[in-house]
Structure 1
Amino acid sequence: MTPLRIHHRRAAAFGFSAALVSSIGQTFFIGLFGLSVRNDLALDDSHWGALYALATLGSGLLMFSLGELADRLPMKQAITVALSVLGLGAILMAVANGPVLLLIGLFCLRLGGQGLTGHMAIVTAARHARRRGRSLATAAFGFIAGEALLPVAVIAMLGWLDWRWVWVCAAMLVLGVALPALRAAAAPLPRAVAMVGLQDGAPPPRLRRRHLVRKPAFLAALTVVLVSPFVVTAVFLHQGTLSTLHGWTPAQVAWGFIGFAAAQTASTWLSGHWVDRHGVTRVFRVYLLPVAAATLALGFGPPSLALWGLFVGLGATAGANSVVSGALWAEVFGVDSLGMVRGMYTGFMVIATALSPLVFGLALETAAPIAHVAAGVAAYVIVVPWLAARWLGANAGHRPPASGPPDS
């Protein structure tokens, strides 16, 4: 087996494992402790929500600058930083006795988990890929596995342990198991071109943040790859209002989430294969179409069709989004500045997901008909990707999958 193929498989496995561990800093995991934390620290819903929002926004904004750690440091060192922050967050959650420590703990969890560790997973899978789409799909399955497995484990542990001891166990898992394992997995990976320079010793020209935000290709891509997190966040947060409008029961919504997860899993696998076979630009043009189907079903379908169409359609696009966006940044901007580019994307994504509940809530409060909102979203996701693809460069989706940096 060639060194390149070994690195490809190791990078994909690293991506899956890092994505799985990043779940400890994801919303679904932290939310499992919400009631216990609020009761123990005497917080109401608004204070808990405000602390969480502040920690999330602060960590997301830091990703604008910290994303390029994946370019400047060997991955062994970069993942050490990420998991150390995540482990510190878990420890602070276990000892938090008031809002200040809680805020710092939440900040470290969001920055170390949802931010840096998940970021390192995708960057590594994309940078060292032989088949980039499939490598990114493998890494994305780590996020899905975390969502499927960890809530069950946490709920079981909360049945016989205090919530603080569950966070102690999480810290031990991150620092005692994941950290040495991922350091060992990352050690043999070749260094990024940006770190080793050219063979003649001259460093390659680096893409800077101020240059990136002026590039039409980057701005055009953002108008598409931010749609899925924007819409999914808005729908999930306002699911209660949507349930009232359509007469959905809690049991029906629970089944809807199962449909979301199933569609997300299938689309992750399929999008990885399609990116490798057809090129990322072709997939980029059409992968938001399930959002159009979802919103049209919500706006014009009967209640049962609205429920299933919404959750399955959003799940299909959510699964593809990690694969398409990860491959897109590598294809359009190359792998040597991939950490910086994806870090910028992550920062904009946090801002978008912070704004989306507000925008959707205002639309609901102004009594805008759901059908009108749905038609507007559907028109956007059908037309804009085709226009945006024109800015991505003629060769972005047609050159063969990159093989990553040289083995030297």
Structure 2
Amino acid sequence: MIPRPIRPIRLDMSEFFPLSWSTRVRRWLSRSVLYHYPPRRRRVGAYVLWRVHDTLRPQPMTYLAFLRANLRFIGFGFLLTLLSSYGQTFYVALYGTEIRAEFGLGHGTFGAVYSTVSIVAAVALIWLGKLIDRVDLRRYTLATLGALTGAMVALSFAHTLWLFALALFVIRLCGQGMTIHIMGTSMARYFPHDRGKALSLSGLGLAAGETVLPITTVALIAMIGWRDVWLATGLVTAAVLLLLVPLALKGFEDRHRGYLARQSQASTTVGARHDWTRLEVLRDPRYLGAMALLLAYPYVATGLLFHQAFIAEVRGWPIELLATGLIVMAVMKVLTSLVIGPMIDRGGAVRLIPVSAIPFIACFIVLGASGHPMMPHVLLGALGVGIGMLQPIISAMFAELYGVRNLGGIRAMSVAAMVLAAAAAPATFGVAFDLGVSIAEVSAACVAYMAAAALLTVWVLRRRNPMTG
């Protein structure tokens, strides 16, 4: 009996190398292996075809080659994360003494105002963040940085508490929220093959701000006063908006046309990835399981950093050790971010989600188990590794799991939830310490939850995509 031919496995590889190569290799493999009837040979042929596809597709570039090819757009992402420093907690806290004295606020009242505007900004980001999926990136960036500039100028002239709170709300929304959101969404959307490196390099802008701005801002406040410093930062942001952003986005039309072509090709390809909506994502067990772990990271990191002075006092650590430990954290964050980028490009971000729990768990194990004088460097270094892994992974994993068409809305919803988790940390950690719960017990609870959430994440991510079965 002559075995009848079977239909060959068809795999669209035209996105990765020219169609002539795709057709030639597929036909050769189909005639030599895949037309034969025995199942074993079909399996061997499918494996060979997969290996050829994996070998001939473009391999991720090195950092240097990638920068040479995409310097303008990576510079755009770097500028956005650098400007986001103006809305981060570490920067606003530099003005704490002067602001409390100006408006007659106590520590608790100022903290309540700051927490309230941060929570409202996180809720607003859920709606404003999804607009990036429909609005031109240049207009979206213009509106965001324009609002940030106006809020800084308004804050410098604010003489009433309500105007101060309104300006601070816009700074938190556009600084901490929107600029990081624009960077994460655009880098993940426009770099399908080098997404990890794009996110890692662009994220270095925040590390630069954390390194340079505290020293310069403290010196400027002493020289010209806090109001003039906010006015100067607004003028700097306006200069970046008018001069550097248009230069960095030169040639964006070609990049966007390439993105639209990929989306059009994917929509006509059989078996192409489905672009999820936010409602579909909320019903996906993989998303809920991953968020159970991802929400823990900003919560425990914020709780640790906010109460670092109390922890140092209980452990008997000099405050100078914490200062040098923060330097170690910043260095480890940068190094880890640069290492994790190529790992995302080679193996994907999804499989790294459970692994990202390891440095956070190690941090709190060290915090709860030892009071050795060198432990601040160890635990803050581990925290830096965790934060360095987290920043590139978040945007990349949503693009891998749910596509990039609605990435802005999905990412905004998730980041807002993480901001809310971080906002709850200072109060809950503080209540626990006030009730007499020891640092070791708080650390053990954090370790137990993150370990359980990591195991849950491993289990849910092994589930099949419900959209494809």
For residue 110 of structure 1, give the secondary structure of its aligned residue in structure 2.
helix
**Matched length:** 393
Aligned twin of 1:181: 244
Superposition map of 1:33-182 within 5 A: 33-129=95-191, 130-182=193-245
SS at match of 1:160: helix
> 1:200/1:300 Cα in 2 relative to 1: closer, same or farther (>3 Å)?
closer
Q: Which of 395, 411, 414 is 1:342 aligned to? A: 411
Residues 321-349 of structure 1: CA deviation (Å, up to 9, x unaligned): 11111111111111111111110011101
Query: Which of the numbers 253, 275, 285 marks the counterpart of 2:354?
Result: 285
Question: Which TM-score applies when normalising by structure 1?
Answer: 0.88
For residues 366 and 200 of structure 1, the distance between their equivalents in structure 2, rounded to whole angstroms, comes to 56
Residues 281 and 389 in structure 1, CA contact (< 8 A), matched pair in contact too: no
* Offset of residue 375 of structure 1: 2.7
Q: Secondary structure at the match of 1:302?
A: coil
1:191 equivalent among 256, 267, 274: 256
361-370 vs 15-24, which moves further: 361-370
Structure 1: distance between partners of 2:112 and 2:444: 32
CA distance in 1 between counterparts of 2:242 and 2:353 reads 34
Distance change >3 Å, CA 359–CA 300, structure 1 → 2: same
Q: In structure 2, how many angstroms separate the alpha carbons of the residues matched to 1:199 and 1:312?
A: 44
Distance 2:351 2:279 in 1: 28
The answer (yes or no) to whether the contact 1:298–1:309 under 8 Å persists in 2 is no
- Call closer, same or farther: CA 1:286–1:378 in 2, change over 3 Å: same
Distance 2:69 2:401 in 1: 22
How many Å separate the matches in 2 of 1:7 and 1:390?
A: 39
How far apart in 1 are the matches of 2:136 and 2:458? 33
| SS in structure 1 of the partner of residue 283 of structure 2 | coil
Aligned match of 2:337 in 246, 268, 271? Answer: 268
Residues 223-281 of structure 1: CA deviation (Å, up to 9, x unaligned): 12222211110011111221121011111111121121121111111111222233212
Unmatched 5+ stretches in structure 1: 397-408
User: 1:294 touches 1:306 (CA, 8 Å); kept in 2?
Assistant: no
Preserved CA contact (<8 Å) 2:130 2:412: yes
Distance 2:371 2:293 in 1: 28
Point out where structure 2 has 5 or more consecutive residues left out of the alignment. Answer: 1-57
Name the CA distance, whole Å, in 2 between partners of 1:19 and 1:327.
17
- Of residues 381, 384, 399, the one that matches 1:315 is 384
Q: Deviations over 1:54-87 (max 9, x none)?
A: 1111111111111112211111011111101211
Is the contact made by 1:292 and 1:382 (CA closer than 8 Å) also made in structure 2? yes
Distance 1:7 1:334 in 2: 24
Distance 1:200 1:275, change over 3 A: closer
Tell me the CA shift for residue 34 of structure 1: 1.5
Q: Secondary structure at the match of 1:145?
A: helix
Instruction: State the 1:206 CA deviation.
Output: 6.5
Q: How far off its partner does 1:377 sit?
A: 2.3
Judged with a 3 Å threshold, the aligned counterparts in structure 2 of structure 1 residues 305 and 37 are, in CA distance, closer, same or farther, namely same
User: Which amino acid in structure 1 is aligned with residue 256 of structure 2?
Assistant: R
Contact 2:187–2:199 (8 Å) recurs in 1: yes
Deviation at 1:201, TM superposition (A): 11
Offset at 1:187?
5.1
Paired with 1:284 and 1:201, the residues of 2 have a C-alpha distance of 28
SS in structure 2 at match of 1:67: helix
CA RMSD across the alignment = 2.7
Q: SS of the counterpart of 1:294?
A: helix
The structure, 1 or 2, with the larger RCO (C-alpha pairs under 8 Å, 6+ apart) is 1
Q: CA deviation at 1:48?
A: 1.8
What is the DSSP-based 3-state SS (H/G/I as helix, E as strand, rest coil) of the residue aligned with 1:335?
coil
Question: Bigger shift: 36-45 or 387-396?
Answer: 387-396
Identity percentage over the alignment? 28
Distance in 1 of aligned mates of 2:394 and 2:207: 17
